[in-house]
Amino acid sequence: MANSGTTPPVISAPVVGLVGNPNSGKSSLFNLLTGLRQRIGNFPGVTVEKKSGVLRLEGLPDVEIIDFPGAYSCYPTSLDERLVVQELTNPEGDLFPDAILYVADITKLDKHLLLFTQLRDLDLPMILVLNMADLAKETGLIVDVERLSLQLGVPVIPVSARENEGIAELRSAVTDLLRNPKKYRPEEPFYEPGAQARDVLADLRQELPARNDYHALLLTHHASWLKHIPEETRHLVQKARVSRGFHSLRAQVEETMERYDTFEPIVKDSVRRTGVNASTSDRLDNLLTHRVFGPLIFVTIMLFLFQALFAWTGMPMDFIEWFFETLGSGVRDTLGAGWLTDLLVDGVIAGLGGVLVFVPQIAALFLFISILEEVGYMARAAYMFDSIMQRFGLNGRSVVALISGHACAIPAIMSTRTIANWKERLLTIMVTPLTSCSARIPVYIILISFAVPEGSFLGMGYQGLAFAGLYFLGILAAMLSALVFKLILKSKERSFLMLELPEYRTPVWRNVGLTVWQKVRTFIVEAGQIILLISIILWGLSTFGPSADMAAAEANASRISVEQSLSEDDAADLLASERLEASYAGHIGKFIEPVIRPLGYDWKIGIALFTSFAAREVFVGTMATIYSIGSADDELRIRDRMAEEINPRTGQPVYNPATAWSLLVFYVFAMMCMSTSAVTKRETGGWKWPIIQFTFMTALAYVSAMAVYQLMA
């Protein structure tokens, strides 16, 4: 049945694919095998997040391990699953693995072997990894590994990624497999295509770039969307399917049933259950998914989560703040006054400090969310809120995105790939950026102090309540926007829940740690780059200006100084502010000012808004740059500098509650993150949706901020 015998004895740059059902513990195994030698990139063409890593084996070149997304079968329903089929049916592709480590949950062999038998029939060298071996002992499961291996025709290695057991055996099995891949090829297929499929294959077998009959069959099923199938072949396939009356869905059901019939006896033969397991998971679910207590517990967990976020991160945040202040004054003392010092201290260090101070909160948020995910709670939340979500045009699975969106919209949007229904997925992508991501935290904290007085009510601080209110406002806006989109967009596609509720498990701390580390590192690197860039540009724009304007500003400043006989310090401040107004940044701010005046903003805030559209976390750094220029007093923090700002027209502070609230509301709603727009474009496959998303969010922000200002002023 195999048509190629060209595999060299030792592969030069071996690629091993890690494949398995969702919840098989595949990623734990991946983390264990590769440690920190991981790269996160994109799958070519499809731009779905790709995790790959390096496995070092004795006597072999570095092995690339690709952690494929979880899939149930070769008949994909979600984008994640499509990717697996796409890559595994394309032997010419870069990601086509030389061998597969198929990961199955030892306690769910009766389900997890379906995809295994399908991939086996694609004629790929394979090892069956039985993960969660530790659970087998607990639940009284006895697996006759040798018998299973004999009947399935592949090496079977029980491991526990959680307990770090069986890894040495697995490594030596992989070594052996890569040395003699031929030895690991199947002798006979698990499934022979039925009568109908045989007819259509008779027509197409020669036309399709297939390694064997089953490969050809899968191409026949999926030719219409597989990227490596040329257009003319697609037509051929379509014609043959019609003329032979090939019914894809029926053929799939028939194949699946037959496969179950083949491997079920094998599982029964080699797996024995001793004793009944009244599992703790069931007892937990009696409470956690209870009709009344379930949602209440969910709300409590969320409240606790956000409370903890602010209560537990004070100390590291104070430390980081102190560090950057010390660094700033250190640099100023060392370098002395000058433009480079201003750029470094006011632009770069203040800007970086303003954002990095929130790393503890961001880390904590990712920590909590990945724990909820690891434990298995997210699936329960999806189950409980599915019907509510449906009313808003979303899916139960959208809950996961809406919760993770509070950390960062980017991974949240990527998590929607498990939603099979396109409309539900699109809606989730569109509204997720309305939830308050961690980049909004710095903006909120600075502005809330101007918007809300200190003090407390029933033991809860006003400012804390306002903070919670902003989060709630984000969620509310997300749900209501989804409802509006639901009414506008029409779709006949069926929607599914069909959600697995995996057993509760204590989290694997290695996985949690790795996730937090990767996310925080990405945040620091990306925020760092953009802040550095924008600080420099902004500094340039606010220091230089059209020469005629700058000269006029200087002349004007010195004239007023003489007229009003100002002190030396005041004269310097006046000069600086006149210069800022005449600079390029000032021109930009002035240009925007008429548009934002109804919102209660002046041209300086205009500059901050302008830069924030790159990434909202830039706000604090921009404020630092704008308000520090010319100020002789370097000891003040950004907040204090803002508090000193006086509106020249009214003589009142610029940051009064009305303006602060208006700004807050603007930052809750506005789409101010280029990275999110880029991800939306990637995930929706074009510019249409990111543009709509940007427009509706920004329009919402503008109108609401105006309403707030006009009502309060």
Partner 1 sequence: MPFPRITAASHFDVGTAGTIDRFTNENLAGKLLDIGVRPGSRLRIIRKGPFGGSWYVKIDRHCMALRKQELACIMIK
Binding-site members are 20-27, 31, 34-35, 45-49, 67-70, 131-134
Pairing of β 156-158 and β 271-273: unpaired
Helix (H) or strand (E) holding 148: helix 145-152
Rule CB under 8 A: is residue 196 a binding residue for partner 1? no
In the window 384-413, what residues touch partner 1 (CB under 8 A)? 384-388, 390, 396
Q: By CB under 8 A, name the one of 128, 382, 441, 668 that touches partner 1.
A: 382
Rule CB under 8 A: is residue 303 a binding residue for partner 1? no
CA–CA dist 347, 623 (Å, integer) = 9
> Half-sphere exposure of residue 491, counting CA atoms within 13 Å on the CB side?
17
Q: How far is the CB of 243 from partner 1 (least distance, A)?
A: 22
Degrees to nearest 5, angle at CA 104 with 99 and 108: 160
Rule CB under 8 A: is residue 253 a binding residue for partner 1? yes
Of the pair 248, 556, the CB lying nearest partner 1 is at 248
Rule CB under 8 A: is residue 111 a binding residue for partner 1? yes
Q: What is 355-421 written as a DSSP string? A: HHTTHHHHHHHHHHHHHHHHHTHHHHHHHHHHHHHHHTT--TTHHHHHHHTTT-HHHHHHGGGG--S
Of the pair 76, 155, the CB lying nearest partner 1 is at 76
Terminal CA-CA length for the chain: 79
Q: By CB under 8 A, name the one of 108, 222, 241, 440 that touches partner 1.
A: 108
Rule CB under 8 A: is residue 131 a binding residue for partner 1? no
Of the candidates 680, 69, 691, the one whose C-alpha atom is nearest the C-alpha of residue 409 is: 680
Per the annotation, binding residues for Mg(2+) are: 31, 34-35
- Please identify, among the stretches 177-185, 207-215, 276-284, 664-672, the one whose residues bind partner 1 according to the rule CB under 8 A: 276-284
- Please identify, among the stretches 167-175, 292-300, 326-334, 700-708, the one whose residues bind partner 1 according to the rule CB under 8 A: 292-300
Q: At what angle do helices 462-488 and 657-669 cross, to 10 degrees?
A: 40
- Please identify, among the stretches 25-33, 383-391, 407-415, 575-583, the one whose residues bind partner 1 according to the rule CB under 8 A: 383-391
3-class DSSP assignment, residue 49: strand
CA quadruple 502, 390, 301, 444: dihedral sign = positive
Of the pair 287, 460, the CB lying nearest partner 1 is at 287
Phi, psi torsion values for 104, nearest 5 degrees: -125, 145
3-class DSSP assignment, residue 670: coil
With beta carbons less than 8 A apart as the criterion, state whether 101 and 174 touch.
yes
Report the 3 state secondary structure along 90-131: CCCCCCCCCEEEEEEEHHHHHHHHHHHHHHHCCCCCEEEEEE
Of the pair 146, 500, the CB lying nearest partner 1 is at 500
- Quote the tokens at residue 44: 């070519």
CA quadruple 217, 218, 222, 226: dihedral sign = negative
- Please identify, among the stretches 283-291, 526-534, 548-556, 676-684, the one whose residues bind partner 1 according to the rule CB under 8 A: 283-291
Of the pair 292, 548, the CB lying nearest partner 1 is at 292
Q: How far is the CB of 130 from partner 1 (least distance, A)?
A: 17
CA–CA dist 271, 474 (Å, integer) = 50
Rule CB under 8 A: is residue 492 a binding residue for partner 1? no
Rule CB under 8 A: is residue 69 a binding residue for partner 1? no
Q: How far is the CB of 499 from partner 1 (least distance, A)?
A: 4
CA–CA dist 546, 549 (Å, integer) = 5
Rule CB under 8 A: is residue 366 a binding residue for partner 1? no
Q: By CB under 8 A, name the one of 494, 563, 567, 648 that touches partner 1.
A: 494
Of the pair 123, 386, the CB lying nearest partner 1 is at 386
In the window 515-554, what residues touch partner 1 (CB under 8 A)? none
Q: By CB under 8 A, name the one of 310, 422, 462, 496 that touches partner 1.
A: 496
Q: By CB under 8 A, name the one of 257, 551, 632, 713 that touches partner 1.
A: 257
CA–CA dist 326, 428 (Å, integer) = 43
- Please identify, among the stretches 12-20, 228-236, 245-253, 299-307, the one whose residues bind partner 1 according to the rule CB under 8 A: 245-253
Q: By CB under 8 A, name the one of 30, 68, 72, 485 that touches partner 1.
A: 72
With beta carbons less than 8 A apart as the criterion, state whether 442 and 617 touch.
yes
Rule CB under 8 A: is residue 462 a binding residue for partner 1? no
CA–CA dist 131, 117 (Å, integer) = 17
CA–CA dist 459, 78 (Å, integer) = 47
Rule CB under 8 A: is residue 377 a binding residue for partner 1? no
- b/e map of 10-26 (b: 16 or more CB within 10 Å)? ebeebbbbbbbbbbbbb
Q: By CB under 8 A, name the one of 28, 160, 270, 289 that touches partner 1.
A: 289
Question: What residue has token string 């949690």?
Answer: 512
Q: By CB under 8 A, name the one of 252, 341, 491, 698 that touches partner 1.
A: 252
Helix (H) or strand (E) holding 239: helix 231-243
Helix (H) or strand (E) holding 41: strand 38-42
Q: By CB under 8 A, name the one of 163, 318, 500, 640 that touches partner 1.
A: 500
Number of chain positions touching partner 1 (CB under 8 A): 44
Of the pair 72, 667, the CB lying nearest partner 1 is at 72
Of the pair 291, 490, the CB lying nearest partner 1 is at 291
Q: How far is the CB of 42 from partner 1 (least distance, A)?
A: 26
Rule CB under 8 A: is residue 256 a binding residue for partner 1? yes
Segments in 544-645 forming alpha helices (H): 547-563, 568-582, 584-596, 603-612, 618-628, 638-644
Residue 335 makes CB contacts below 8 A (sequence gap 6+) with 341, 344
Per the annotation, binding residues for GTP are: 20-27, 45-49, 67-70, 131-134
Of the pair 352, 420, the CB lying nearest partner 1 is at 420
- Please identify, among the stretches 191-199, 228-236, 248-256, 605-613, the one whose residues bind partner 1 according to the rule CB under 8 A: 248-256
Rule CB under 8 A: is residue 291 a binding residue for partner 1? yes
Of the candidates 415, 409, 347, 412, the one whose C-alpha atom is nearest the C-alpha of residue 627 is: 347
Of the pair 284, 331, the CB lying nearest partner 1 is at 284
Spell out where 243-393 has E strands: 271-273
Of the pair 460, 497, the CB lying nearest partner 1 is at 497
Rule CB under 8 A: is residue 57 a binding residue for partner 1? no
Rule CB under 8 A: is residue 53 a binding residue for partner 1? no
Of the pair 251, 700, the CB lying nearest partner 1 is at 251
Of the pair 88, 357, the CB lying nearest partner 1 is at 88
Rule CB under 8 A: is residue 702 a binding residue for partner 1? no
Residues that bind partner 1 (CB under 8 A): 72-73, 75, 77, 108, 110-111, 114, 249-250, 252-253, 256-257, 260, 277, 281-282, 285, 289-292, 294-295, 379, 382-388, 390, 396, 494, 496-503
